Amino acid sequence: MTAEDSFIAPPVLAEVVRSGFVESRHRGSLVVLAPDGSVELSLGDPHTPIFPRSSNKPMQAAGVLRAGLDLSGERLAIAAASHSGELFHRDLVRRLLAENGLDAAQLQCPPDLPLDPVEQETYLASGAVRDRIAMNCSGKHTAMLAASALRGWPLESYLDPDHPLQKLIHRAVEEAAGEQVAAVGTDGCGAPLMAISLTGLARAFRSFVLAAPDTPERRVADAMRAHPEYVAGTRRPDTALMRAVPGLLSKMGAEAVQAVALPDGRALAFKVEDGAGRALGPVLGRALELTGVRVEGFGRVAVLGGGRAVGEIRAAF
């Protein structure tokens, strides 16, 4: 038997239905943890390492706090953010840079446009161009620079995996996930990216909401939940979800990754195998239902034909 013969495709998590006909399917893996941390539901292979992408940001922010940087409130929330690049996000990043004696030119995230389409139109209409501060990871990069400056660590190499700050973050990820990092890559923003399993990712989010008060992990979770608009934006799912469900912690990652934890210790994480973001809402809505949480606006997404709804994207589990 060859490897191809023994391959088992992951289950379908979402399907696209047009005029009553299933035209596309999105496969993936998902894990749901019970309040005591045991696995309540496992679909696909949640034990194989993945790149959580921006779902790793809470752990990265905890590493910055472990380095000694004293952030709180919206400043800590934006350190764990994939922000929309709205004016209030950009203004806060500028203030953070100034407060720590830093300059935008020191940021090593790539210049970009605001992530939010509405904000992007306004931004371009004003004559603005791609900018590092507008990039959705600029808050994280500012916090990394500030922590490095505080400790007297090199600023020009703050994204090197062997940099003292990145080593702290590496340990923070492993401790939260309860497993070793399987691989280290480079994220879209240029920062080191640690691979862990979906089960480890769910454990990490669970550990943040259950952490003792005033620990770095709990401080990050509390800041994100208190200021969700700084974690994402005024028109983003993570913001809406954290506003709708008291105590819930949520962080989306690129390539269709999502992690969520509830204050009682329930947690979930999933990845859509093909990276299709359109499947996130339906899969997340169904996964939350399985934990007993129903949130308006998360579930089926309309499929349009001629400007009207002719089908839907829906969960398939």
Q: What is the pLDDT of residues 65-76, one digit of tens each?
A: 999 999 999 999
* Nearest-angstrom CA–CA distance, 29 and 240: 24
Q: What is the pLDDT of residues 227-241, one digit of tens each?
A: 999 999 999 999 999
What is the percent of the chain with per-residue pLDDT over 90, rounded to a whole number? 95
- Whether the pLDDT of residue 16 is over 70: the answer is yes
Domains delineated in the chain: 3-315 (3.40.710)
Can you tell me the mean pLDDT for 88-101?
A: 98
Can you tell me the mean pLDDT for 18-25?
A: 98
Say what the pLDDT of residue 8 is: 83
Three-state secondary-structure class, residue 118:
helix
Can you tell me the mean pLDDT for 110-136?
A: 97
- Whether the pLDDT of residue 5 is over 80: the answer is no
Nearest to 225 by CA among 211, 252, 245, 210: 245
Residue at token pair 């969960």:
315
Q: What is the pLDDT of residues 260-290, one digit of tens each?
A: 999 999 999 999 999 999 999 999 999 999 9
Q: Which two tokens stand for residue 19?
A: 């005029």
Q: What is the pLDDT of residues 142-192, one digit of tens each?
A: 999 999 999 999 999 999 999 999 999 999 999 999 999 999 999 999 999
Please, which pLDDT band fits residue 7 given cuts at 50, 70 and 90? low
Q: Which residues contact 117 (CB under 8 A, 6 or more apart)?
A: none
Nearest to 76 by CA among 56, 99, 96: 96
- Dihedral through CA 37, CA 38, CA 44, CA 45, nearest 10? 70
Say what the pLDDT of residue 1 is: 52
Mean pLDDT of the chain: 96
**E-state strands within 155-291:** 183-186, 192-197, 249-253, 257-261, 267-272
Say what the pLDDT of residue 296 is: 82
Please, which pLDDT band fits residue 297 given cuts at 50, 70 and 90? confident
Half-sphere exposure of residue 236, counting CA atoms within 13 Å on the CB side?
27
